[in-house]
Amino acid sequence: EVQLVESGGVVVQPGGSLRLSCAASGFTFDDYTMHWVRQAPGKGLEWVSLISWDGGSTYYADSVKGRFTISRDNSKNSLYLQMNSLRTEDTALYYCAKGSSVVPAAPIDYWGQGTLVTVSS
């Protein structure tokens, strides 16, 4: 059974930093592209970032480019999102999500339960 468990969400002040983690199990982690997707309270889904199976390629939404960094540790079956220069508009539930293949464009087929990041003074 695929499991994705996010952690690290807290309340942080504007301008602050945070690192989210995602522990993956139930599949061969380094065979798949991984994503972060977020959902602001009461709003829709926003794709944030993806990382290739080997970590060699990363992509970001314009809204987070230059502030967020996605990474992975295949030896630990873990995905990360380093979030710097946080803004109030970054407040959201952050989902770790698994791509369905090594191909970046393949659909997201499993999602974690999310971790809540609140940016507020």
Partner 1 sequence: DIVMTQTPLSLSVTPGQPASISCKSSQSLLHSDGKTYLYWYLQKPGQSPQLLIYEVSNRFSGVPDRFSGSGSGTDFTLKISRVEAEDVGVYYCMQSIQLPYSFGQGTKLEIK
**Site of interaction with partner 1 (CB under 8 A):** 44-47, 50, 59-62, 95, 100, 104-114
User: Least distance (Å) from partner 1 to the CB of residue 43?
Assistant: 9
Nearest residue (CB) to partner 1, 42 versus 75: 42
Nearest residue (CB) to partner 1, 15 versus 107: 107
Nearest residue (CB) to partner 1, 102 versus 106: 106
User: Least distance (Å) from partner 1 to the CB of residue 10?
Assistant: 20
User: Least distance (Å) from partner 1 to the CB of residue 61?
Assistant: 5
Residue with tokens 């710097």, as numbered in its chain: 84
Give the SS3 label for residue 88. Answer: helix
Burial class (CB in 10 A: 0-12, 13-18, 19+), 60: middle
For residues 16-43, one letter each, b for 16 or more C-beta atoms within 10 angstroms of the residue's C-beta and e for the rest, the string is eebebbbbbeebebbebbbbbbbeeeee
